[in-house]
Structure 1
Amino acid sequence: MRLPQETIRTKRDGLPLAPEEIRAFVAGLTDGTVGEGHAAAFAMAVFFRGLALPERVALTRAMAESGRVLTWDLPGPVLDKHSTGGIGDTVSLALAPMVAACGGYVPMISGRGLGHTGGTLDKLGSIPGYDAMPGLDAFRRTVRHVGCAIIGQTAELAPADRRLYAIRDVTGTVESLDLITASILSKKLAAGLDGLVMDVKHGSGAFMATLPEAQALAESIVTVAEGAGLRTAALITDMDAPLASAAGNAVEVAYAIDYLKGVTREPRFHAVTLALGAEMLVAGGLARHAAGAVERLEAVLASGRAAEAFAQMVATLGGPADLLDEPERHLPAAPVRRPVRQTGTVAGIATREIGLAVIELGGGRTRPEDVIDPRVGFTQLAGPGACDGLLGIVHAADEAAADRAEAALRAAYRMGAAPESRAPVLERVGAG
Structure 2
Amino acid sequence: MLPQEIIRRKRDGKALTGEEICAFTAGLADGSWSEGQIAALAMAVLLNGMDAAEGAALTLAMRDSGSVLDWSNLPGPVTDKHSTGGVGDNVSLMLAPIVAACGAFVPMISGRGLGHTGGTLDKMDSIPGYTSQPDQKRFAETVRKVGCAIIGQTGDLAPADKRFYAVRDVTGTVESIPLITASILSKKLAAGLSSLVLDVKSGNGAFMGDARAARKLAENLVRVAGEAGLSASALITDMNQPLASAAGNAVEVVNAVDFLTGEKRDRRLEDVTLALASEMLLASGIATTTREAYDRAHEALESGRAAERFGQMVSALGGPGDFVENPDKHLPRASVTLPVPAANDGFVSAIDARAVGIGVIGLGGGRRTPQDTIDHSVGFTDLLPLGAETKHGEPLCMVHASSEESARRAARIVSSAYDITDAKPRTRKTILRRVTAEI
TM-score category, normalised to shorter length: over 0.9
- Deviating above 4 A after TM superposition, structure 1's stretches of 4 or more consecutive aligned residues are none
Deviation at 1:360, TM superposition (A): 0.1
Report Cα offsets for 1:318-341 as digits up to 9, x if no partner.
Answer: 000001111110011101111112
Deviation at 1:34, TM superposition (A): 1.2
What is the identity, as a one-letter code, of the residue corresponding to 1:358? V
CA contact (8 A) 2:218 2:234 kept: yes
What is the identity, as a one-letter code, of the residue corresponding to 1:411? S
Deviation at 1:61, TM superposition (A): 0.2
Aligned to 2:94: 94
User: Secondary structure, in 3 states, of the residue corresponding to 2:58?
Assistant: helix
CA contact (8 A) 2:148 2:313 kept: yes
Aligned to 1:294: 294
**Partner Cα separation in structure 1 for residue 312 and residue 88 of structure 2:** 24
Aligned to 1:395: 400
**Partner Cα separation in structure 2 for residue 419 and residue 368 of structure 1:** 39
What is the identity, as a one-letter code, of the residue corresponding to 2:401? A
Aligned to 1:200: 200
Alignment of 1:66-81 (within 5 A): 66-72=65-71, 73-81=73-81
Report Cα offsets for 1:168-202 as digits up to 9, x if no partner.
Answer: 00000011111000000000000000100000000
1:405 aligns with 2:428: no
1:40 aligns with 2:39: yes
User: Secondary structure, in 3 states, of the residue corresponding to 1:44?
Assistant: helix
1:330 aligns with 2:315: no
Report Cα offsets for 1:352-385 as digits up to 9, x if no partner.
Answer: 0000000000000000000000000000101111
**Partner Cα separation in structure 1 for residue 125 and residue 424 of structure 2:** 37
Deviation at 1:283, TM superposition (A): 0.4
Aligned to 2:355: 353
TM-score by length of 2: 0.97
Report Cα offsets for 1:152-177 as digits up to 9, x if no partner.
Answer: 11111000000000000000001111
Aligned to 2:379: 377
**Partner Cα separation in structure 1 for residue 231 and residue 117 of structure 2:** 27
1:167 aligns with 2:167: yes
Alignment of 1:58-69 (within 5 A): 58-69=57-68
**Partner Cα separation in structure 2 for residue 19 and residue 151 of structure 1:** 31
**Partner Cα separation in structure 2 for residue 148 and residue 215 of structure 1:** 29
Aligned to 1:240: 240
RMSD value over aligned CA atoms? 0.8
Report Cα offsets for 1:198-219 as digits up to 9, x if no partner.
Answer: 0000001000001000000000
Deviation at 1:388, TM superposition (A): 3.6
Report Cα offsets for 1:272-318 as digits up to 9, x if no partner.
Answer: 00110100000000000111111001111111110000000000000
User: Secondary structure, in 3 states, of the residue corresponding to 1:139?
Assistant: helix
What is the identity, as a one-letter code, of the residue corresponding to 2:361? I
Deviation at 1:264, TM superposition (A): 1.1
Report Cα offsets for 1:238-259 as digits up to 9, x if no partner.
Answer: 0001000000000000000000
TM-score by length of 1: 0.99
User: Secondary structure, in 3 states, of the residue corresponding to 1:183?
Assistant: helix
1:280 aligns with 2:280: yes
Deviation at 1:13, TM superposition (A): 0.2
Moved more, 178-187 or 262-271: 262-271
Deviation at 1:265, TM superposition (A): 1.6
Deviation at 1:80, TM superposition (A): 0.3
1:427 aligns with 2:417: no
User: Secondary structure, in 3 states, of the residue corresponding to 1:55?
Assistant: helix
1:27 aligns with 2:29: no
Q: State which of 367, 370, 373 in structure 2 corresponds to 1:368.
A: 370
Aligned to 1:6: 5
**Partner Cα separation in structure 2 for residue 63 and residue 138 of structure 1:** 24
Aligned to 2:53: 54
Give aligned pairs, total. Answer: 431
What is the identity, as a one-letter code, of the residue corresponding to 1:117? T
User: Secondary structure, in 3 states, of the residue corresponding to 1:345?
Assistant: strand
**Partner Cα separation in structure 1 for residue 219 and residue 252 of structure 2:** 30
1:252 aligns with 2:252: yes
Alignment of 1:110-149 (within 5 A): 110-149=110-149
Moved more, 312-321 or 380-389: 380-389
**Partner Cα separation in structure 2 for residue 350 and residue 326 of structure 1:** 33
**Partner Cα separation in structure 1 for residue 136 and residue 386 of structure 2:** 43
**Partner Cα separation in structure 2 for residue 236 and residue 267 of structure 1:** 17
**Partner Cα separation in structure 2 for residue 170 and residue 17 of structure 1:** 24
Instruction: Mark the runs of 5 or more structure 1 residues left unpaired by the alignment.
Output: none
**Partner Cα separation in structure 1 for residue 27 and residue 50 of structure 2:** 19
CA contact (8 A) 2:123 2:252 kept: yes
What is the identity, as a one-letter code, of the residue corresponding to 2:434? R
What is the identity, as a one-letter code, of the residue corresponding to 1:79? T
What is the identity, as a one-letter code, of the residue corresponding to 1:386? A
**Partner Cα separation in structure 2 for residue 295 and residue 341 of structure 1:** 40
Report Cα offsets for 1:97-140 as digits up to 9, x if no partner.
Answer: 00000001000000000000000010011000000011111111
1:106 aligns with 2:85: no
Q: State which of 405, 408, 414 in structure 1 corresponds to 2:419.
A: 414
Report Cα offsets for 1:23-48 as digits up to 9, x if no partner.
Answer: 11101111111111111111000000
Deviation at 1:418, TM superposition (A): 2.0
Deviation at 1:431, TM superposition (A): 3.7
Alignment of 1:201-216 (within 5 A): 201-216=201-216
User: Secondary structure, in 3 states, of the residue corresponding to 1:271?
Assistant: helix
Instruction: Mark the runs of 5 or more structure 2 residues left unpaired by the alignment.
Output: none
